[in-house]
Structure 1
Amino acid sequence: MACYISLVFLLGFPAVYSGSHSLHYYISMLSAPAHEVPQYSIVVYADGLPIGRYNSDLHRAQFLIPSLNVLTEHLELQTKFAQRWQVYQERKMAFLMGFLNRTSDRGTIHIYQRKFSCELEEDGTIGGYQEFALDGREVITFDRENEVFVPATQEAVTMLPRWNQYLGNAKGNKMYMENECIEHIKLYLPLIMMDLEKKVKPKVKVSISESDSGVELHCRVYGFYPRDVEVKWIKNGRDEIHSEEAAQILPNPDGTYQIRVSVGVTPEGGATYSCHIDHSSLEKALVVPFEGETKGYVIYIVIGVVVAALLALCLGLFIQRKMNGFKGSRQSVSTDEQD
């Protein structure tokens, strides 16, 4: 791992470490080039705020927060580190693909992902995590306390000895997590405090759709900042409806976030449904009612199915009549030819 010099005190910034803070690195790599998607990319988040990036199209590290641009020397070091790190990630991806029997023939593109995080708690304790995934499936995680990588799946058990011996560098990862990464948190925080404190209210859109299992209500919440948000569906103003699928908070290109929470409902006459959103930008929870009638929606679905069935039946009868007429004409022609 490369060593970096903390510039906090050299630049005269005060130390601002109250509360817990984190720095996340999200690395992704494609097994082959794809249209309009960088083959290799790194995105850096401080306390959930995207602050920097590097990818194989840019070939340079960039700060996404203008106030960080004073760190010119640090940015140059980050560029060199990201370029050198790409080689290491290529080796790791090749190892995982080979061991897990993944190939890139017939145009198949595989995705390698690595998540790395360090955390500085309010009492000064240090934490963090690291994980590796291939095609969206977690394969390996990092045990910081024991300085070793551990398997996340059964098929990864047999490959871990070779990984730890040749590719893991567990000791170096722990040193970086507990030293340089923490110094970066201290370096960035004084310069991004105003950005971290900004709040953007969420926008909300509710909708309804039919699924294989019945009727689903959707609550899409988007354009909000900071990241933490609570979204839930409430029936008749008091009963929470739990979603069967865990909703993910996803980043937007502008630095805000989005989430969609969907629940299955059983149509009932007179029942009301509303989406409740709790976010730090709101003085009180935002309640967005679903204005439609789920029972009526199901009736429309049933009517649509019946109409489609009738149309199919009529079309079938029409084709059958045409075929019967065609057969009659063929028989008449055949008789004439025999004569």
Structure 2
Amino acid sequence: MACYIFMVFLLGFPAVYSGSHTLQYYVAVSSTAYPGLLQYSIIAYVDDVRYGRYNSDTRRCESLIQSPMVFSEHLDGQTNMAQQTEITQKVLMNLIIDLLNKTYDINYVIQTKAACVLHEDGTVDVYEEVALDGKELVVFDKERVEFVPATQKAVLLAQWLNKQAYAMEDKIFMENECTQHLTLYLPYIKSYLDKKVPCVKLSSSESESGTELHCRVYGFYPRDVEVKWIKNGRDEIHSEEAAQILPNPDGTYQIRVSVGVTPEEGATYSCHIDHSSLENPLIVPFEKETKNSHITYILIAVGVIVLFLAFGLGFFIQRKMKGLKGSRQSVSSEEQD
């Protein structure tokens, strides 16, 4: 199986910070080749920053960060490994279809995710799981060094993997080569991993249930952040919906926290953001647009339109006057002749 090459499905892996670093591999294999659809692909992340990729079209490992020439030889080795694993992963795909009594007339996607986590004290954690069309099949148990079935249907698959000793093979790779690669990559993506101050945008919307205030915080790193709405500078307003911290393509994060409020005369609302990149919590007051401000905008727009109309009318009259003057001069010339 060569499970040290892995791919993409969102089953959620706990990100680790505060001195720990993570190298994650995501692998996806499709049972059928379609035009424009990658049958095999790999994406690799260091601390949620995408740094490398491989797919069945290019069949070449590529670095997505600015890397030195010494990386060229390293990428050649990774390319050879990825090409070999692409073959074994496609064999595994057929095996899973057979073990689960699936038919070959439907396109399936085998998705694998694995990671090594290097902690500040030098200890290492490893993680791996395999899924079919987003549904978990087997999970790697690092204590027992074996694959454990997530469903009854995956029992035979787990037994086959354990019989082939893939669990021990993967454990050795993740605890050794994976961590070595992690320490190799970290210096070259340091600029991506520096703390980034969050940006904030406030807005509101009206619904049948009342007014909703939205606080969108984005572009921050690392991931951990606290965002809350405060009324009158002291009372926290609890949100009824769970806010999720979502990744951005550049490795930063975003979150939107919304709360429902009943407008009160004299009440103030503000969004409070606490992040490790800030010396003090950031407080952004919400300022609702008043009817007067809307009227002002309308008057400004009307004024601009009037100016354009006046300019156009003046230009039209000037052209007409020139034309009339030219006609009169032509008539005078003919009379003199």
- Which TM-score tier does this pair reach, normalised by the shorter chain? 0.5 to 0.7
Matched, 1:220 2:221: no
In structure 2, the residue matched to 1:173 is 170
Residue 26 (structure 2) aligns with:
26
> Given the two structures, how large is their TM-score scaled by the length of structure 2?
0.66
TM (normalized to structure 1)? 0.65
The structure with the largest alpha-carbon Rg is: 2
Q: Which residue of 2 aligns with 1:149?
A: 147
In the TM superposition, residue 190 of structure 1 has moved relative to its aligned partner by: 3.8
CA contact (8 A) 2:222 2:252 kept: yes
Displacement of 1:81 after TM fit? 1.2
**Is contact 1:116-1:129 (8 Å) kept?**
yes
Q: 2:276 matched to which residue of 1?
A: 280
| Offset from partner CA, 1:186-215 (integer Å, 9 cap, x none) | 32234444543x343333334445789887
User: Matches of 1:140 and 1:26 in 2, distance apart?
Assistant: 15
Inter-partner Cα distance in structure 2 for 1:97 and 1:219: 46
Percent identity for Structure 1 against Structure 2: 44
Q: Find the aligned partners of 1:35 and 1:259 in 2 and give their Cα distance.
A: 34
Shift of 1:101: 6.3
1:211 and 1:30 mapped to 2: Cα distance?
43
Q: SS where residue 66 of structure 1 aligns?
A: coil
Task: Give the CA deviation at 1:153.
Answer: 4.1
Aligned equivalents of 2:50, 2:224: Cα separation in 1: 17
What is aligned with 1:260?
A: 255
Q: CA offset at residue 181 of structure 1?
A: 1.0
Q: Is the CA contact 1:63–1:69 (under 8 Å) kept in the aligned structure 2?
A: no
Unpaired segments ≥5 residues, structure 1: 4-17, 294-339
Query: What is the SS of the residue equivalent to 2:67?
Result: helix
Letter in 2 for 1:176: F
Equivalent position of 1:133 in the other structure: 131
Residue 244 of structure 2 is matched in structure 1 by 247
Over 3 Å counting, the alpha-carbon distance change for 1:180 and 1:230 in structure 2 is same
Task: State the Cα distance separating 1:179 from its structure 2 match.
Answer: 1.2
Cα distance, 1:21 vs. partner?
Answer: 2.4
Residue ranges of structure 2 left out of the alignment (5+ in a row)? 5-17, 290-337
Distance apart, 1:54 and its partner CA: 1.6
Given residue 203 of structure 1, which amino acid in structure 2 is its aligned partner?
A: C
Tell me the distance in 2 between the aligned counterparts of 1:89 and 1:201: 41
- Partner in structure 2 of residue 186 of structure 1: 183
Contact residue 32 and residue 109 of structure 1 kept, 8 A: yes
d(CA) in 1 for partners of 2:47 and 2:138? 24
Residue 225 of structure 2 is aligned to residue 230 of structure 1: yes
Q: Would you say how many aligned residue pairs link Structure 1 and Structure 2?
A: 272
Paired residue type of 1:180: E
1:51-76 deviation digits (Å, cap 9, x = unpaired):
22222333211112223442211110
Distance 1:179 1:39 in 2: 29
Structure-2 residue corresponding to 1:164 = 162
Can you list the C-alpha shifts for 1:226-266, whole angstroms capped at 9, x where unaligned? 341314232414315245435142231xx233333344525
Q: CA RMSD in A?
A: 3.6
Aligned equivalent of 2:119:
121
> Equivalents in 1 of 2:32, 2:246: separation in Å?
28
Conserved 8 A contact 1:28-1:113: yes
Q: Which moved more, 1:137-146 or 1:280-289?
A: 280-289
Partners of 1:112 and 1:215 lie apart in 2 by: 44
Taking a change above 3 Å as real, the CA distance of residues 202 and 161 of structure 1, as seen in their structure-2 partners, is same
| Structure 1 residue matching 2:130: 3-state secondary structure | strand
**Structure 1 residues 258 and 164: alpha-carbon distance in aligned structure 2, compared to 1, 3 A threshold:** same
| Equivalent pair of 1:110/1:134 in contact (CA under 8 Å) | yes
Structure 2: how far apart are the matches of 1:84 and 1:77? Answer: 11
